[in-house]
Structure 1
Amino acid sequence: MQFSGAFGPSRKLRSRAKLLPEYARAHNRSLVLQTLYHAGQVSRADLARETGLTRVTISDLVAELIADEIVKEIGVREASGPGKPATLIDIDRNGHQIIGIDMSGSTRFEGAVMNLDGEVVTRDAVERPPGEDGDATFAVMIELARRLIAASDKPILGVGIGTQGVVSADGAVLSSPNLGWQGLPLRARTSIELDLPVIVGNDANAAVLAEYTFGGARSDFMLIKVGRGVGAGLITGGQPLTGSRFAAGEIGHVVVGTDGGPRCVCGRDGCLEAWLNVGRLSAAIEERPEARDEILRDAGARMAIGIAPIVAALDLSDIVLSGPADLLDDIFLRAAVDTLHARTLDGVFSDITIHRTEQPDIVLRGAAVMVLAGQLGIS
């Protein structure tokens, strides 16, 4: 499934789909919802002008959405001239809730109940099972989801899961060595277990949606998520890039350098993930605290070596990092920027930036974006 961003004024991902006549009503419903979501508190006449739909169509769709408890009437606009004041409507942002689950943590899985603005209502977490036991991992994830469902106090729009690994369009985890999953139909199994709509995406792909939606990032950028593993999400031309094999952004298992390096979970030596994962960096610094700056400079440089061809091939404008601030610090960032500039065409990419995200709960909020896109068609 191709997910679209849903929040923030005028932050719409560009659709490439050709509209077929039989889908016109669904398209119009989605258009009304996304216009309302971005604009907030407008009249039916405002909606007709903004969308180009007739007032009769708007009236019909709004009535349907009010009956579905997705939209609500707010009150009347303050009168500014003769005539009856218009009634304002908006998305009922607290009328439904979304369950988000982030499975990217090194030691535990995070979860939250969120409103339709992606704001956390309540949160919970479970300890990550030791090793790579796929059955145990699935069991604790379901336990977390059920606890969150029990903690919710509004109808649940859906469950969004951001997970490590390669995730297909139908929500199957094709490969996730860190979680012990291979060919797991995660979306289908979880939906059966919870009896709710479920959307599954790669954790970095979820994070990049949240950054695009909430962070005001440019329309061509890469988000690199550093945790137990390393992955990336890509937005190009305002559109998420997942690839024909659903593996776009799987930079963690690119070998960086010809000097060997630590053994990766995939069985090879010197993968970017093996150099850059949080556990390895923290352990190396603990073992040699006097070499902290050297360790982080090397890690930043190796990350830049891995992404330089991607930056050049896609002409990216921005690199955003998500991970521990004490590791992805100014020393790491400077080494990454210097190496990236040294390995790309002089003068062309001199303005590219590498910086940390300011988004809290970035995978959880990305999960909310996925659910809104999948369930309401907001884009």
Structure 2
Amino acid sequence: MIAAAPSFALPFGLSVPAALLLGGAGLVVLVVTLWAGRRTGQVSLRDVEGLVSSLHQANFELTGRVRTMGESLSARQGDLARLVGERLDTVNARLGQTLERSAHRTGEGLSKLNERLAVIDAAQARLADLTEEVVGLRDVLANKQARGAYGQARMEAIVRDGLPSDVYAFQPTLSNRTRPDCTVKLPGDRAALVIDAKFPLEAFTALKAAAGERARAEAAARVRTDMGKHIRDIAERYLIPGETQDTALMFVPSESVFADLSEHFSDVMQKAHRARVSVVSPTLLALAIQLMRSVARDARMREQAHLIQAEVRGLMDEVRRLGDRVGKLDDHFRLARKDVADLATLTDRIVARGDKIDSLDCAAPPASSSPGPAALPSLFGVAP
């Protein structure tokens, strides 16, 4: 009986049972060959026994070698398993670090994303507010009365910022029972300048919304018609000789609309000039208001010129009185300097007299020459 060998891999891709199977097949082939030779008389029984013994010895050696190879392969499989385990541990550690870094980066990215989302939410809220304001402005501009109030409010803001309150008036009543939006009366001028803030915007809205050439042509014709009617209304209602100026201002509360008028409707602008109606934008109105302010300031200065001259004359009188007092003070200083000089001269004389007195010889006279007591009466003319 041939012992069963463990299943291990062998060279050339064969396993141990496969090698044993091949060995058994060779043994069978050899036995068959020997039996065939024995029948033919070519091989003796001793030869067959020798060959079988040799075959058993080879089979035993092959089994030992296979067992040794199996043990070697088992040891190598253990080393391979340990190496694979170490590599798996290293890979797991690196994978854990990579996952940790990825989680950290993902957290940072999510925090930044949350911040940006917060900024986007705030911007969206502001955009929503702006959208509501734009919609409200569109509603205002769509309504004639609201649009007139909007233009009136903007015009009033420009006028209030540039002129004193006693120069302008809003919604005054003229002699022909009309009420312009604003009148400006400069000092020294009895005629007032009329400013109209109502503007026909529907035709311009239709012109912006027109898609085809025909629609644009119809909208442009409507613009010319509406503008011409409004210009005639201003000229007929607000240009009153002796009460208002010869020119009135038509205020357009939009710079873009004014630019479209100037660029594409020059005939309308010329018609307005011929009718003595000047179309002004917010910038031009502010410039005109500044010019009016300068004119009003110059007129008030001319009106107050006599007061300024009186003040200047009073100032000159004060200056003359100041000069007189300075002259008197100079006289006082001159007299004081003279007195001081006289005092200095007298002091010098006194010092000189003192020096002379100090230089006199005041030594005692001799005893013989000194008069005695009996001679004293003779000095006074009295006999002894």
Q: TM-score range by the shorter chain?
A: under 0.3
Structure-2-length-normalised TM-score? 0.25
TM-score between the two structures when normalised by the length of structure 1: 0.25
More helix by share: 2
Return the structure number with greater strand share. 1
Larger radius of gyration: 2
Q: Which has the higher contact order (CA 8 A, sep 6+)?
A: 1
